[in-house]
């Protein structure tokens, strides 16, 4: 196997380090940190990217690593040439890097996919016959929807971490104890940012003979994730939320269900041997390694970008990253608490530990209008809607499904319930100035209203020309 050339694998210095004062720590360098955008009111401003929960900006370290590798790009696993061997080496090194990042067990497999959604659909495709699935209604649709023909039990939203464990234990106690079962749970909510009691839920699952998969899409970019410490059977996450672009994801965990099932995709790479039969058909021997579910030419650059991000976060030190993020969370929550019209959405309460994801509604405002004004008048990018977690947001809003409203809601009666919510999210690349500008903009919009007129276009609120 080739050795990756030092020129292509040159390390990029990561500037964020753990310090005693998180407010003094520098954010990690990300692409787009100096991009300016126009304002409808005139002039330009540096863009404040506060939609990390959807897609985080790429770390500069990741971009530089990928750029260094790009001239050496080649086919993976099936080439005799130097670049093919080098790319194969890099691909498998990346698999080992991800396994180390997740603290996987020696027997675990790391499978590269397109995203968390793809990872959980892959797991759904390999479930044993008769498998029962248990999932809270609070999950992202990626965890809520892929289970197909399995017998699915949807659990009501808990209001405390302890209630989550109790709810799961009651449900598992009532299941058929002889058949296979799987619990799917998030590590951190993509709506509230609240951390879930994963280790306790895993213990409850295993005590009742079930397995558990962790949706770490919102957890892995903010906190260390240890498969062994949490004692989960699988973990899934997306590169594009881990500061790694190019559309790759990971499913890592126990190999047996994966080895026993038919390949997720049938094709080259997944097959070890194919032979014609006398009756005209073909016999196929499938790989039992991770390759079994990685048919086709893999996204080598996407995979390498994930490995690069894993290394960058590890080298920066999660202790410092977590401390600095808590500092930013306090800034946002304290600032929003000073605005009586703002209500922050929460399942577990104000004191619950959380990552940098905060959703809220503003009395008298349609959330789409508010988000549009933040963008057009302040150069701040947030998200509005139901965040691919419709049952959870509806529960938090205390509402039933309703028709989408127009974006003229500032003229609505005070106290009118918004049809959706606003989400601000941030992470390792967010400077203090962005959250300060966001809090200031919220206060100005609530106090003075929007400076511009807006209209609805294809269901979105946009500035009127």
* pTM (global) more than 0.75: yes
d(CA 263, CA 233): 19
The predicted structure's pLDDT at residue 291: 80
The predicted structure's pLDDT at residue 23: 54
pLDDT in tens, 189-248: 999 999 999 999 999 999 999 999 999 999 999 999 999 999 999 999 999 999 999 999
The percent of residues above 70 in pLDDT, for the chain, comes to 90
Average of pLDDT values for 319-335? Answer: 97
- Please report which residue ranges of 338-389 form alpha helices under DSSP H: 367-378
* Whether the Cβ atoms of residue 249 and residue 121 lie closer than 8 Å to each other: no
pLDDT in tens, 32-81: 999 999 999 999 999 999 999 999 999 999 999 999 999 999 988 877 88
**Quick one: how far is CA 293 from the chain centroid?**
21
Q: Which residues pair with 36 in a beta bridge?
A: 46
The predicted structure's pLDDT at residue 21: 58
More confident residue, 7 or 142: 142
**Quick one: how far is CA 172 from the chain centroid?**
27
pLDDT in tens, 273-286: 889 899 989 888 88
d(CA 441, CA 463): 17
Indicate the helix (H) or strand (E) that contains 322. Answer: helix 318-337
Contacts of 288 (CB under 8 A, 6+ apart): 255, 259
Rounded to 10°, the helix 318-337/300-316 angle is 80
Q: Which of 244, 246, 235, 175 is nearest to 210 (CA)?
A: 175
The predicted structure's pLDDT at residue 78: 77
Which of 142-151, 308-317, 449-458 is most confident?
Answer: 308-317
Lowest mean pLDDT among 24-28, 31-35, 147-151: 24-28
Average of pLDDT values for 392-397? Answer: 91
Q: Transcribe 87-125 into DSSP letters.
A: HHHHHHHHHHHHHHHTT--TT-EEEEESSHHHHHHHHHH
The two counts, helices (H) then strands (E), for the chain are 13, 19
First vs last C-alpha separation in the chain: 60
Q: Which of 374, 375, 378, 335 is nearest to 358 (CA)?
A: 335
Lowest mean pLDDT among 48-57, 126-135, 194-203, 453-462: 453-462
Spell out the long-range contacts of 84-93 with Cβ–Cβ below 8 A and sequence spacing 24 or more: 85/1, 85/2, 86/2, 86/4, 86/5, 87/300, 88/1, 89/1, 89/2, 89/3, 89/4, 90/4, 90/300, 90/304, 91/298, 91/300, 91/303, 91/304, 93/4, 93/307
Active site residue 388: yes
The percent of residues above 90 in pLDDT, for the chain, comes to 76
Kindly compute the dihedral angle of the four CA atoms of residues 127, 133, 138, 141, in this order, to the nearest 10 degrees.
Answer: 30
Please count the other Cβ atoms lying within 10 Å of the Cβ belonging to residue 390.
Answer: 16
The predicted structure's pLDDT at residue 437: 98
Ramachandran angles phi, psi of 302, nearest 5°: -65, -40
Residue of 131, 388, 407, 461 with catalytic role: 388
pLDDT in tens, 163-180: 999 999 999 999 988 899
């Amino acid at each position: 196997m080739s050795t990756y050339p030092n020129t292509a694998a040159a390390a990029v210095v990561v500037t964020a380090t753990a310090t005693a004062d998180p407010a003094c720590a520098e954010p990690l360098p990300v692409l787009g940190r100096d991009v300016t955008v126009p304002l409808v009111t005139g002039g330009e401003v540096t863009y404040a990217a506060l939609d990390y929960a959807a897609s985080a900006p790429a770390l500069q370290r990741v971009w530089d690593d990928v750029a260094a590798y790009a001239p050496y790009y080649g086919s993976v696993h099936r080439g005799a040439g130097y670049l093919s061997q080098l790319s194969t080496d890099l691909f498998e090194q990346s698999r080992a890097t991800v396994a180390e990042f997740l603290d996987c067990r020696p027997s675990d497999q790391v499978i590269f996919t397109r995203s968390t959604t793809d990872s959980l659909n892959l797991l759904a495709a390999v479930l044993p016959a008769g498998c029962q699935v248990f999932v809270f209604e609070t999950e992202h649709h990626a965890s809520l929807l892929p289970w197909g023909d399995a017998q699915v039990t949807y659990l009501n939203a808990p209001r405390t971490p302890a209630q989550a464990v109790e709810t799961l234990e009651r449900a598992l106690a009532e299941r058929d104890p002889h058949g296979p079962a799987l619990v799917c749970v998030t590590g951190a909510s993509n709506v509230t940012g609240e951390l879930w009691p994963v280790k306790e839920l895993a213990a409850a699952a295993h005590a009742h003979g079930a397995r558990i998969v962790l949706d770490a899409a919102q957890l892995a970019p903010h906190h260390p994730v240890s498969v062994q410490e949490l004692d989960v059977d699988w973990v899934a996450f997306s590169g594009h939320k881990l500061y790694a672009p190019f559309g790759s994801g990971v499913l890592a965990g126990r190999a047996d269900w994966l080895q026993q099932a038919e390949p997720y995709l049938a094709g080259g790479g997944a097959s070890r041997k194919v032979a014609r039969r006398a009756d005209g058909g073909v016999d196929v021997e499938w790989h039992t390694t991770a390759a079994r579910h990685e048919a086709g030419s893999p996204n080598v650059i996407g995979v390498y970008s994930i490995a690069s991000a894993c290394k960058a976060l590890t080298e920066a030190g999660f202790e410092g990253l977590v401390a600095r993020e808590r500092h930013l969370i306090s800034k946002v929550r304290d600032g929003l608490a000073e605005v009586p019209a703002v209500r922050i959405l929460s399942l577990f309460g104000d004191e619950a530990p959380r990552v940098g994801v905060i959703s809220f509604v503003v009395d008298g405002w349609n959330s789409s209008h508010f988000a549009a004004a933040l963008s057009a008048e302040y150069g701040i990018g947030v998200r509005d809607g139901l965040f691919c977690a419709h049952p959870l947001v509806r529960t938090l809003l205390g509402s039933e499904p309703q028709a989408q409203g127009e974006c003229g809601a500032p003229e609505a009666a005070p106290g009118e319930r918004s049809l959706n919510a606003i989400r601000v999210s941030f992470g390792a690349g967010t400077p203090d100035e962005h959250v300060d500008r966001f809090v200031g903009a919220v206060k100005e919009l609530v106090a003075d209203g929007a400076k511009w007129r807006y209209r609805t276009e294809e269901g979105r609120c946009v500035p009127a020309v």
